[in-house]
Amino acid sequence: MAQRSQTLRTLLSADQISARVGELADQVADVYAGQEIALVPILLGSVIFVADLIRRLPLDMAIHMCGLSSYRGRATRPGELSWTLPPPDDLAGRHVLVVDDILDTGATLERVVRAIGGQQPASLRSCVLLARRGARVEPDFFGFRIGDGFVVGYGLDYGDRFRNLPYIAVIEP
């Protein structure tokens, strides 16, 4: 079992997150006004974010899921990516919005976009809560731009812990 002694420094409070998720939902709703979307959250880190986002999206939607593991439960370097749950295969002609918790290097999002893009969706966009400065891909929508530092809370974990924090914190090295 992981030791319980990490020091956490609050980066984004629950109120800040809530306010920003509302703004983000407004942006997304404007872009897709009148269209039905197919949401594809990437498990597991995005579940809290997507649950809050969808309740503020006044759009018709179907919710799917996919899962990618980078063999990185802890704050180590990214490893090889493998599907824990492949994306749905019925996305042709649909307006697909991929949702993730954090865009770090961008490898995860690139992989999902490549897999879904091959199905010829009508449109394909991405929405992440956190976007690391200097990532190699840009999301279509993002909540906050952040710098280096391993973050936890609001769905993000460190060795499977801290997903349930209602705020986002940086683990002090």
**Alpha helices, DSSP H, located in 32-145:** 47-54, 107-117
Q: Concatenated DSSP letters for 117-158?
A: HTT--SEEEEEEEEEETT-SS--SEEEEEE-SS-EEBTTB-B
Within positions 28 to 87, which residues make up the interface with Mg ion, using CB under 5 A? Answer: 45
Letter string b/e over residues 55-92, b meaning 16 or more CB atoms within 10 A of that residue's CB? eebebebeebbbebbbeeeeeeeeeeeeeeeebbeebe
108 contributes a contact to ligand IMP by CB under 6 A = yes
Cβ closest to ligand IMP, residue 29 vs residue 67: 67
Q: Which of 24, 38, 102, 129 binds ligand IMP (CB under 6 A)?
A: 102
Structure tokens belonging to residue 78: 């990214």
Per the annotation, the verdict on 101 as an active-site residue is: no
Residues in the interface with ligand IMP (CB under 6 A) total 18
Does 73 interact with ligand IMP (rule: CB under 6 A)?
no
Q: Does 45 bind ligand IMP (CB under 6 A)?
A: yes
- The residue from 15, 90, 104, 140 that is catalytic is 104
- To ligand IMP, the closest distance from the beta carbon of 144 in angstroms equals 12
110 phi and psi angles, rounded to 5 deg = -60, -45
The answer to the question of residue 156 lying near ligand IMP (CB under 6 A) is: yes
Question: Which residues lie across from 171 on neighbouring strands?
Answer: 8
Least distance in Å: CB of 95 to ligand IMP? 22
The contact set with ligand IMP (CB under 6 A) reads 42, 45, 70, 78, 100-109, 150-152, 156
Catalytic residue list: 104
